[in-house]
Amino acid sequence: MSVHILMYPYPTPGHIIPLLDLAHKLLHLRRSDLAVTVLVTPDNLHLLDPFLSSSSSSSSSSLQFQPLVLPSPEPPATPHPPRRRLAANVRALRDLHLPLLSRWFESHPSPPCALVSDFFLGWTHRFARERGVPRVVFSPSGAFGLSVNFALWRDLRRPDEESMVSFEKLPNRPRFPWSHIPLIYRNYEVGDPEMELLREGAIGNIESWGIVFNSFDGLERAYLDHIRKEVGHNRVWAVGPLLPAEADGSAGPVSRGGPSSVSAGQVLTWLDACPDGSVVYVCFGSRAVPTQRQMDELAAGLLESGVRFILCVREANRGGHAAEGNYGAVPEDFEERAAGRGLVIRGWAPQVPILRHRAVGTFLTHCGWNSTLEGLSAGTVMLTWPMGAEQFVNAKLLVDELGVGMRVGEGSEKIPEAAELARVLAEALRGDLPQRVRAKEMSSAAWNAIEGGSSEKDLSDFVRCVDEQRRTKIHA
């Protein structure tokens, strides 16, 4: 294979899944000279099963998609506090994988001509440069979120007046309360080796050869142009929304996530019995777990609203984390009181099929980027309740710039009272909402981008540029 691309996701489902969706898109370009290797740890290997099973039916396909399984770091003897956990995980991955990856490169008969790696893995920029191959950042966040990230780490921003942080150079000159800035940055301390590793990684992202976004031009054109200006080149590609195979019309469903208390078939059968646009879907993503106070107000609001709903509940022992360290449980009598109009899913929900079902009209979300894109592509009204990371940036995009959303809560600072939440839930299902009109427009723009539009063109251009770089190196 001439164009061999190594993909290296950060090993959590929310980062692995969109990169696998990118791999799926690449392999369906039908280029016989393109091969993809995905680096994965043993505990996440099951996420590749659909690709491996489809490849096994064809010898040519099996050559085009291969896993590279490297071990997971050993759990630390003493658990790291939450404020240091990401930095410790990144360091552990680098220390363990760097020598293994080096040996794999050196021994491979046809080593990769490009490395696409997650933005948490900025250390791979130096690794790729030392081997003379371009490193491409994969951003599972949008261009707005990464623009804020770049400005923070490059300039080491701190609050100005009234504990607000201003971004004067960004489009629309956004401002955020200090508490809405990602925690990993707020915890940054000059001279702390692990925190310095995060900053070095962010600078490595800025200096990398290219960036691929899970976004599309019609969604974030101003911020994509800003990123191009910041990095000083045009090797910035928006190829999203990256959706699972069953949602984009391609053959072969892609398994996602983990175990669930309710099968996808049961969920869709339940939705089939509901009128069009009558259901609110509530999910806080693969990591966030509401605190008990948040869960109590949410459950009471759902009951008081009288609306039909699906509530996806993550469980703390599945890797979630609550902002205040306590884990919210659904009240014992909640399901009994909601019988007939509410469905509770414990574990993973088949989110994309749910959002695309005709019965679902509104999505109450933590505003993680995967959920944001899935909601936008489905044309649902978005009720925003960001919990952390870049989710406050995404909520601002949805509400203030795109006009497809309504604010509900903000982490643990602004928890809606049950009565107010009930009012908003009922209002958000109205068919004549201006946000619903805008949501349908954004859904059309998303599908147009991936069906022959800007995202499809960017994907092809990305492969073309990688191939040109490879050929230039050969003839140098």
Kindly tell me if the per-residue pLDDT of 275 is higher than 50: yes
The answer to whether 115 touches 38, Cβ cutoff 8 Å, is no
Can you give the residue range of the structural domain that contains 203?
3-238
List, for residues 90-130, the tens digit of each pLDDT value. Answer: 999 999 999 999 999 999 999 999 999 999 999 999 999 99
Say if residue 309 is in the same domain as residue 420: yes
Say if residue 71 is in the same domain as residue 207: yes
| pLDDT the model gives residue 374 | 96
The answer to whether 361 touches 354, Cβ cutoff 8 Å, is no
Looking at residues 336-342, what average pLDDT do you find? 90
Say if residue 166 is in the same domain as residue 277: no
Kindly state whether residue 473 falls inside one of the protein's structural domains: no
Kindly tell me if the per-residue pLDDT of 342 is higher than 70: yes
Kindly state whether residue 319 falls inside one of the protein's structural domains: yes
Say if residue 209 is in the same domain as residue 128: yes
Domain boundary among 206, 238, 270: 238
- Percent of the chain at pLDDT exceeding 90: 68
Q: Give the residue numbers annotated as catalytic, written as ranges.
A: 15, 118
Kindly state whether residue 249 falls inside one of the protein's structural domains: no
| pLDDT the model gives residue 55 | 54
Which of 181, 210, 241, 211 lies closest to 447 in space, CA to CA? 241
Say if residue 415 is in the same domain as residue 318: yes
Q: Which residues contact 467 (CB under 8 A, 6 or more apart)?
A: 2, 3, 113
| pLDDT the model gives residue 253 | 37
Say if residue 306 is in the same domain as residue 422: yes
How far is residue 443's CA from residue 447's CA, in Å, rounded to a whole number?
6
Say if residue 270 is in the same domain as residue 200: no
How far is residue 295's CA from residue 428's CA, in Å, rounded to a whole number?
20
Kindly state whether residue 461 falls inside one of the protein's structural domains: no
DSSP code at position 43: G
Kindly state whether residue 369 falls inside one of the protein's structural domains: yes
Provide the CATH number for the domain around residue 315.
Answer: 3.40.50.2000
List, for residues 194-219, the tens digit of each pLDDT value. Answer: 788 899 999 999 999 999 999 999 99
Kindly state whether residue 304 falls inside one of the protein's structural domains: yes
Say if residue 185 is in the same domain as residue 40: yes
The answer to whether 202 touches 432, Cβ cutoff 8 Å, is no
List, for residues 59-90, the tens digit of each pLDDT value. Answer: 445 568 899 999 999 887 666 666 678 888 99
Say if residue 317 is in the same domain as residue 430: yes
Please give the sequence-ordered ranges of beta strands (E in DSSP) within 293-422, or none if there are none. 308-313, 342-346, 360-365, 381-384, 405-407
Looking at residues 9-23, what average pLDDT do you find? 92
Say if residue 327 is in the same domain as residue 382: yes
Say if residue 226 is in the same domain as residue 305: no
Which of 382, 358, 359 lies closest to 369 in space, CA to CA? 382
Kindly state whether residue 194 falls inside one of the protein's structural domains: yes
Dihedral of the CA atoms 52, 55, 60, 65 (nearest 10)? -30
pTM to 2 decimal places: 0.91
How far is residue 336's CA from residue 87's CA, in Å, rounded to a whole number?
43
Question: pLDDT band at residue 248, thresholds of 50, 70 and 90?
Answer: very low
Number of structural domains, the chain? 2
| pLDDT the model gives residue 201 | 94
Question: pLDDT band at residue 143, thresholds of 50, 70 and 90?
Answer: very high
Kindly state whether residue 175 falls inside one of the protein's structural domains: yes
Say if residue 316 is in the same domain as residue 365: yes
